[in-house]
């Protein structure tokens, strides 16, 4: 089976921030998990590089748009190893192969009768690169997201006949109730469609930084149509000399933030229908990580929550966390503290609490004391006896649970299921008190069973946790002498482990 997962492509004007890291980490967890199941996985991320905001920024800086994007794109490409993500390709929408594919697909949409020429007049937010209907425009014609004035635009455009796809889209939503996940986002997208779809601009003619419209050189494609097609175009050239489209299209998951819901759940499926291409299985819409803006105001109101994004100027620096605690700590925290799919508050204080209580204490200490006991009581070799039968059912059920949860992209629920077992093994240590067994030679078999159960349990946890904390997982599995990551092996088994190494703390206290 193939599994294709995509992040949104990141707008190249911005500096990477926690929001980018969040989407990317989530996709990486899904991709790594599916590889552990033996699926044929392709994981795509990249940068969105066209559009008016780039042209304007380049003009302000006195460079060409190409120079600007060439300078900024590496900040996102370099983000991937910093987060320890395993993307299979990094697409840039200025790649010539992408641009050619955009022209090919949009020409087909025109040939299929879904494009016409007209005049656009209405509101536009240059920062969103999005046209706003009168209903969407905020107070005094400001952008509801940026709170900056909207621009009144009047220009010759080619239009995409979105309105013609209203019934098709409603049928799609009926037939594929998990096309948009989670459910409240499905409802939001559906309500947007039911409110009545208007045709949308497919091209712009007031600037030139975009993919040229092949049938009219005075236009470039509207940046969203160019950007959305990255998910499709990348497969045709990600591997030199090979076309992966048949192998991976359609995507299983597009993971996006809620601010780009309309484009992915309405425009994108309509475009694919218009081009005669297969639709993705799921668009998963995650929430925003929210940050308290500071001390509460006088008058006793709670702290104000604001969207954490560069354009709002309230940024939690994920790089500081990576520098001090490592990428695993950031990855774990992002997936753990806010239920994936919901909005939720994050803070450095909560990060510190979870790092210490869960990573350092629950899991890190379980690993340290288990390995230490194998060295202290059995000379560094895991005994060969059978694991404890009272423990096996609960530990062995974990893989099935995690797979079922990941099938619904419940990345937070899966961590909770795993943590139930982390806590179970910690209780097991206290219940069995191996330090007492070790004092009684007659109970050597019991001690063997406890040690093999703990070491095997630890191995299972390290395998299942790998997608969230890959570096720590690999370090622990190497220490155990069992580097295999496939989920089939994530069960308590006898005789799999032998000599173990020493283990430095997996999640050390900050310096
Ligand atoms: Zn805006």
Q: Which of 98, 114, 128, 262 is catalytic?
A: 128
Distance (angstroms) between ligand 1 centre and the Cα of 339 equals 27
pTM, full prediction: 0.93
When the pLDDT of each residue in the chain is averaged and rounded to a whole number, the result is 93
Residue 143 known to be catalytic: yes
**Which pLDDT score is estimated for 316?**
64
Residue 146 known to be catalytic: yes
Distance (angstroms) between ligand 1 centre and the Cα of 153 equals 14
Distance (angstroms) between ligand 1 centre and the Cα of 284 equals 22
Residue 258 known to be catalytic: no
Residue-wise DSSP of 220-283: EE-HHHHHHTHHHHHHHHSBTTB--HHHHPSPSEEEEEGGGHHIIIIIHHHHHHHHT-PPPSEE
Residue 439 known to be catalytic: no
Burial of 446 (0-12, 13-18, 19+ CB in 10 A): middle
Q: How confident is the model at residue 298 (pLDDT cuts 50, 70, 90)?
A: very low
Q: Which of 184, 258, 310, 375 is catalytic?
A: 310
Q: Which of 50, 125, 286, 466 is catalytic?
A: 125
Distance (angstroms) between ligand 1 centre and the Cα of 129 equals 7
Distance (angstroms) between ligand 1 centre and the Cα of 308 equals 15
Residue 219 known to be catalytic: no
Q: How confident is the model over 361-385, as a mean pLDDT? A: 97
Residue 158 has pLDDT above 80, yes or no: yes
Residue 334 known to be catalytic: no
Residue 1 has pLDDT above 80, yes or no: yes
**Which pLDDT score is estimated for 299?**
37
Half-sphere exposure of 116 (CA within 13 A, CB side): 10
Q: How confident is the model at residue 192 (pLDDT cuts 50, 70, 90)?
A: very high
Residue 264 known to be catalytic: no
pLDDT digits (tens, 9 = 90+) for 197-215: 999 999 999 899 999 999 9
Q: How confident is the model at residue 302 (pLDDT cuts 50, 70, 90)?
A: very low
In contact, 280 and 252? CB cutoff 8 Å: yes
Protein residues with C-beta less than 5 angstroms from the ion ligand 1: 125, 127-128, 143, 145-146
- Tell me the helices (H) and strands (E) count for the chain, helix number first: 22, 17
């Amino acid at each position: 089976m193939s599994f294709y997962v995509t992040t949104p492509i990141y707008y190249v004007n911005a500096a990477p921030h926690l929001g980018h890291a969040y989407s990317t980490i989530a996709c990486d967890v899904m991709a790594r998990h599916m590889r552990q199941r033996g699926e044929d996985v392709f994981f795509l991320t990249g940068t969105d590089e066209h559009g008016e905001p780039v042209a304007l920024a380049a003009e302000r800086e006195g460079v060409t748009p190409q120079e600007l994007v060439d300078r900024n794109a590496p900040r996102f490409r370099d983000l991937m190893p910093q987060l320890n993500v395993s993307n299979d390709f990094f697409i840039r929408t200025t790649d010539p192969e992408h641009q050619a594919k955009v022209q090919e697909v949009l020409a087909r949409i025109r040939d299929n009768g879904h494009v016409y020429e007209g005049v656009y007049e209405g509101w536009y937010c240059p920062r969103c690169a999005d046209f706003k209907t009168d209903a969407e425009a905020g107070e005094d014609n400001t952008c509801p997201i940026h709170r900056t004035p909207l621009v009144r635009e009047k220009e010759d455009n080619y239009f995409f006949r979105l309105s013609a796809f209203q019934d098709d889209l409603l049928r799609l939503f009926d037939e594929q109730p998990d096309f948009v996940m989670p459910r409240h986002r499905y409802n939001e997208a559906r309500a947007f469609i039911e409110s009545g779809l208007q045709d949308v601009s497919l091209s712009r003619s007031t600037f030139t930084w975009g993919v040229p419209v092949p049938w009219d050189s005075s236009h470039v494609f509207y940046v969203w149509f160019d950007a959305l097609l990255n998910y499709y175009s990348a497969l045709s050239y990600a591997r030199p000399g090979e076309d992966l489209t048949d192998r991976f299209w359609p995507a299983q998951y597009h993971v996006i933030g809620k601010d780009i819901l309309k484009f992915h759940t309405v425009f994108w499926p309509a475009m694919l229908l218009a081009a005669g291409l297969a639709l993705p299985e799921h668009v998963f819409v995650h929430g925003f990580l929210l940050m308290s803006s500071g001390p509460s105001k006088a008058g006793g109101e709670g702290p104000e929550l604001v969207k954490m994004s560069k354009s709002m100027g309230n940024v939690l620096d994920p790089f500081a966390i990576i520098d001090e605690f490592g990428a695993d700590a950031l990855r774990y925290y992002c997936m753990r503290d806010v239920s994936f799919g919901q909005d939720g508050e994050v803070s450095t204080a909560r990060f510190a609490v979870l790092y210490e209580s869960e990573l350092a204490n629950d899991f890190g200490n379980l690993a340290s004391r288990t390995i230490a006991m194998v060295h202290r009581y059995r000379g560094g070799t895991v005994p060969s006896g059978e694991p404890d039968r009272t423990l096996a059912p609960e530990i062995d059920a974990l893989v099935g649970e995690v797979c079922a949860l990941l099938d619904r992209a419940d990345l937070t629920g899966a961590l909770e299921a795993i943590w139930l077992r982390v806590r179970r093994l910690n209780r097991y240590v206290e219940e069995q008190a191996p330090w007492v067994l070790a004092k009684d030679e007659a109970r050597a078999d019991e001690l063997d069973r406890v040690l093999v159960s703990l070491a095997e349990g630890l191995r299972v946890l390290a395998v299942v946790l790998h997608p969230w904390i890959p570096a720590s997982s690999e370090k622990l599995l190497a220490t155990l002498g069992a580097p295999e990551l496939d989920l089939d092996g994530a069960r308590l088994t006898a005789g799999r482990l032998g000599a173990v190494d020493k283990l430095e703390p997996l999640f050390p206290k900050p310096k």
